[in-house]
């Protein structure tokens, strides 16, 4: 039994998408921006070949994954993977790289 993913508390999606050259990236981003609940879209070209483009799509808002996936498919695209999901009442980010690093202790630090 499959479960439909609909309107939940999804705040951000990062998707790996394969799409034909048409619509263009600006058209594709604009179309995704018009999906209900979408507040912002960022589309990054990852790879291009003769017939298709691989893109990374970052979407923020109060999101319905099913509606977004359907819209992408309607425009000839395919979601290869869901690479990131943020849910809940706020978006949690990773700590900046400097805060994630372990401090290297030297001989001079001891004392």
Region of residue 76 (phi > 0: left; psi between -120 and 50: alpha; otherwise: beta)? left
- 30 part of a folded domain: yes
SS3 (DSSP) at 77: coil
- 23 part of a folded domain: yes
Rounded average pLDDT over 86-106: 62
First vs last Cα of the chain: how many Å apart? 63
Return d(Cα 51, Cα 49) in angstroms, integer: 6
Range of the domain at 64: 9-92
HSE toward the beta carbon, residue 75, CA cutoff 13 A: 25
The pLDDT of residue 91 = 56
The answer to whether 71 and 33 are in contact (CB under 8 A) is no
- 109 part of a folded domain: no
**Residue 75 in this model has a pLDDT that exceeds 90:** yes
Return d(Cα 36, Cα 86) in angstroms, integer: 18
- 29 part of a folded domain: yes
- 3 part of a folded domain: no
Tens digits of per-residue pLDDT, 5-58? Answer: 455 689 999 999 999 999 999 999 999 999 999 999 999 999 999 999 999 999
What's the total number of domains in the chain? Answer: 1
- 65 part of a folded domain: yes
Tens digits of per-residue pLDDT, 44-66? Answer: 999 999 999 999 999 999 999 99
Which of 67, 76, 61, 64 shows the shortest CA–CA distance to 17? Answer: 76
Q: Residue 49 is part of a domain; what is its CATH number?
A: 3.30.70.1340
Q: What confidence category does residue 104 fall into, taking pLDDT thresholds of 50, 70 and 90?
A: low
**Residue 105 in this model has a pLDDT that exceeds 90:** no
- 101 part of a folded domain: no
The pLDDT of residue 25 = 96
- 18 part of a folded domain: yes
**Residue 102 in this model has a pLDDT that exceeds 70:** no
Alpha helices in the chain (DSSP H): 25-33, 65-74, 97-100
- Its pTM stands at 0.75
């Amino acid at each position: 039994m499959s479960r439909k993913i609909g309107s939940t508390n999804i705040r951000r999606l990062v998707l790996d998408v394969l799409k034909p050259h048409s619509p263009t990236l600006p058209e594709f981003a604009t179309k995704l921006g018009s999906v209900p609940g979408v507040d912002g879209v960022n589309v990054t070209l990852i790879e291009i070949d003769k017939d298709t483009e691989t893109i990374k799509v970052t979407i923020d808002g109060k999101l319905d994954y099913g509606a977004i996936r359907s819209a992408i498919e309607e425009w000839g695209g395919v979601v290869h993977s869901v690479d990131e999901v943020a849910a809940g009442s706020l978006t949690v980010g990773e700590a900046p790289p400097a805060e994630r690093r372990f401090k290297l202790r030297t001989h001079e630090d001891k004392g």
